[in-house]
Amino acid sequence: MFGSLKALPADPILGLLAKYRKDDNPNKIDLGVGVYKDESGHTAVLNCVKKAEQHRIDTEDSKVYIGPTGSDLFNDEMAKLIFGDHKVLAENRARTISTPGGTGSLRVAAEFIKTCKPGATIWVSNPTWANHTGLFEAAGLTVKTYPYYDYENKNLDFDGMLAALKQVSSDDVVLLHACCHNPSGMDLNQEQWQQVADVAKSVGFTPLVDMAYQGFGAGLDEDAYGLRLMADSVKQMIVCSSCSKNFGLYRERIGGCTIIGESSISVDIAHSVLLSVVRVIYSMPPAHGAAIVETILSSEELRNEWYAELKEMRDRINGNRQLIVDKLVANGVTRDFSFITRQAGMFSFLGITPEQVQQLQDEYSIYMVGSSRMSIAGIANSNVDYLAESIAKVL
């Protein structure tokens, strides 16, 4: 059976990481992998997470299955984190389940959409997270794109986006990034979110909102603004959330999938179908990550500690944006890179050519994706001068 298989190329980002690890240049810089790093380049465990894990060790008395929905406490706390005091919770129109990370949430959502409408079309932004297209197609969905990022002007192509969404079928699904757009870092402002919500209501398509970075942009509530506004406007909606970035739980693979229905009765029906999807994919979700998150969110002391640690990560990323722009200017770069400071979250397109990206890798051991998408968290005070000097030389 295996004899007919041919080796497939490695994932570009994972392949980049492998090259970085083999590089013996002491000045090497990793701007490829999308994980948060502190000033020393380390992805540390949050203090609030350590305390929650210790609580888990001290109190856990069984390893029995927790059921396909996952932990009820985790699901409730995640719903409140996502929606705040939104009416969908008061009206009992939202159902959340635990999933194996944000990717697991998206795959469950994709299979759920296919169950609702076999052969459904889902529209994703151009560009979008590299794994979106593959996991949607693997579920049997048709993937189409709408304009989003204007590469030439380093800005949002909002007119193109809005015009495309107005042509979407009412039976289609539209994927929207809640905040910290991956890979461009370019987010909708509040006025633009309102216009997109109006189009969604008018056209009747189903929004699927991917929120992998809540709290990494402007703040927990600020980053959920567009999602909550959308929930005001439509009767049905899907939200995929992740705890990998904002809780630093990359290895624990914990996320959530939330569906909003027109009524509590209709969403209960949809929830039953969602659970049937889960049953044939992974049957039961992992429990450890959910236990950590629910312990933090249900404890005032740990929650406040998490707020402070999350703010520290957010402020460092935002500070790095201004830092690299200032250093490029100091190195005599005349090209305008100020667009980097107007973006949010982990990523930005530097806007250089693939050849220049390769030159940075070959000559200076600076690693980023060929599209020039760079992870802002990889910048540090200890490497920013070398980074800016190298970019200036390549330019």
Look at the block and give the residue holding tokens 């304009």. 147
Whether 245 is catalytic: yes
Cα distance between residue 196 and residue 184, in whole Å: 19
Q: Please tell me which residue in 51, 154, 245, 327 is annotated as part of the active site.
A: 245
Identify the burial level of 342 via C-beta atoms within 10 angstroms of its C-beta, where 0-12 means exposed, 13-18 middle and 19 or more buried: middle
Distance of alpha carbon 27 from alpha carbon 101, whole angstroms: 33
- Share of the chain residues as helix, strand and coil, in percent rounded to the nearest 5: 50, 15, 40
Q: Where are the beta strands (DSSP E) in the chain?
A: 29-30, 94-99, 121-126, 142-147, 149-150, 155-156, 173-177, 206-211, 237-242, 255-260, 347-349, 366-367, 373-375
Q: Which of 172, 187, 210, 223 is catalytic?
A: 210
How far is C-alpha 30 from the chain's CA centre? Answer: 19
306 is catalytic: no
Q: Which residues are CB-contacts of 145 (< 8 A; sequence separation ≥ 6)?
A: 123, 124, 125, 126, 128
Residues 6+ apart with CB under 8 A from 328: 335, 337, 388, 391, 392
- Write down the catalytic residue from 129, 187, 223, 327: 129
Chain mean position to CA 389: 31
The DSSP secondary-structure symbol of 287 reads: S
Say how far apart CA 346 and CA 133 lie, in whole Å.
20
> Cis link prior to 183 (omega < 30° from 0)?
yes
- CA of 178: how far to CAs of 80, 185, 222, 332, in Å? 16, 11, 10, 36
Q: Taking Cα atoms as reference points, which of 217, 288, 284 lies closest to residue 56?
A: 288
Q: Catalogue the active-site residues.
A: 129, 210, 245
